[in-house]
Structure formats: structure tokens, C-alpha cells
Amino acid sequence: VDNIDVPACTARGIIAVNTPEANLMAAGELAVALAFASFRNICVANEAARRDDFRRGRMIGNELEGKTAGIIGMGRIGSIVARKLKGVGMKVIAYDPYISSDRFEQVGVRRCDKLDDLLREADLITLHTPKTKETYNMIDAPQLALCKPGVRIVNAARGGLVNEKALHAALVSGQVAAAGI
């Protein structure tokens, strides 16, 4: 309800409620779908096909299996994403200073104590945090510079977690191969 004028709704007899559990699976699956799209060049292939351009070399993607997924935020959605990415053969690491070590063990994910460690190791970075003062622009130009060249970024959480100008510059330079937002 952070984007809804609740008092205005109430005044008009419209009930606006927060249902944080309602879309957990949908949000997790969207993040995984964006990861697949970014590795397999699905959007590029779709656009090329619409232009009758069937040059296969431009459509070849990369496999997820054997790559490292770095999850920022290991709450309910991050845990769903971890489980699904492990299912396709990705190594999964995660950063979340607020989640207990037990939770990481339950999900079978290696904990990174520092965000910078995750950024340096991940082939895919996916964000699953709320937007707070602490998480606003948590991925900015200095963080993108720490990443492996060709990293993929997925933000299916909130706008503002990734600085969009810095992300654009990293996409143009090739530091980031693809982004799903």
C-alpha cells in the first residue's frame, strides 16, 4: 500500500489492504523468469524475430547451470528464488544481515557476510529487499564496478534499490550484460 492513498480510498468506500503473502510465489517466479530471459537472450531473440531477423548468432544465450547466483535479501521471496535457481544447477550465495544463519542452512545457501563479497563472486545478482534508507541505491556505480564483467542484474523487488543511471552506464559499457527490472 506504499503507492496508494489509503485515506482517500477509505473516504470513497474502497478497501485497500496490504497482503504481503499474496504474491510471494509470483514475485519469486518473476525474478527467476527475468534471470532466464537475461541469460538466454529471450528479449533480443523476440525483437529480432519480429523484424524477420533470424541470425542465430545474435540469439545464442548462456546457460545458468554452473553459474553463481547472488541473492540480496533472504526473506520469503529470496528463499523461493534460491530454491528455484538451485533447481537449475546454479550455485547460490546470499547476503542478508537480518536473517539468521539457520535460515541460510535451511535453504542450503552460502551466506556472504559482506555485500561486496557477493558482488565480486556472482554471475547473477537478484534483489529481494524492501526499499529503506539503507537499501536505497544499494547497487550504484561503485558496487557495479566490483562485479564480474558481464554480470546480470535482476530487481523484481522495488524501484530505487539499483541506481538506474549507474545501471544504464554499466549496460552500455558491457560491465552488466543484461538487466531485468
All three cell numbers of 102? 539457520
Tell me the residue ranges of DSSP E strands in 85-169.
91-95, 110-111, 124-127, 151-155
- Tell me the average pLDDT across 1-9: 84
All three cell numbers of 167? 545501471
* pLDDT higher than 90, residue 38: yes
Determine the pLDDT at residue 79. 96
Determine the pLDDT at residue 41. 86
- Tell me what the pLDDT averaged over the chain comes to: 93
Determine the pLDDT at residue 21. 72
Residue 174's contacts (CB-CB under 8 Å, 6 or more residues apart) are 149, 150
Q: Taking CA 84 as the corner, what is the angle to CA 88 and CA 28, rounded to the nearest 5 degrees?
A: 140
Determine the pLDDT at residue 61. 83
- Tell me the average pLDDT across 159-166: 96
Rounding to the nearest 10 degrees, give the CA dihedral for residues 39, 66, 31, 48. Answer: 10
In single-letter form, the type of residue at position 128 comes to H
- Locus of grid cell 547472488: 70
In tens, the pLDDT along 103-158 reads: 999 999 999 999 999 999 999 999 999 999 999 999 999 999 999 999 999 999 99
In single-letter form, the type of residue at position 161 comes to L
- Locus of grid cell 556505480: 141
- pTM for the model stands at 0.87
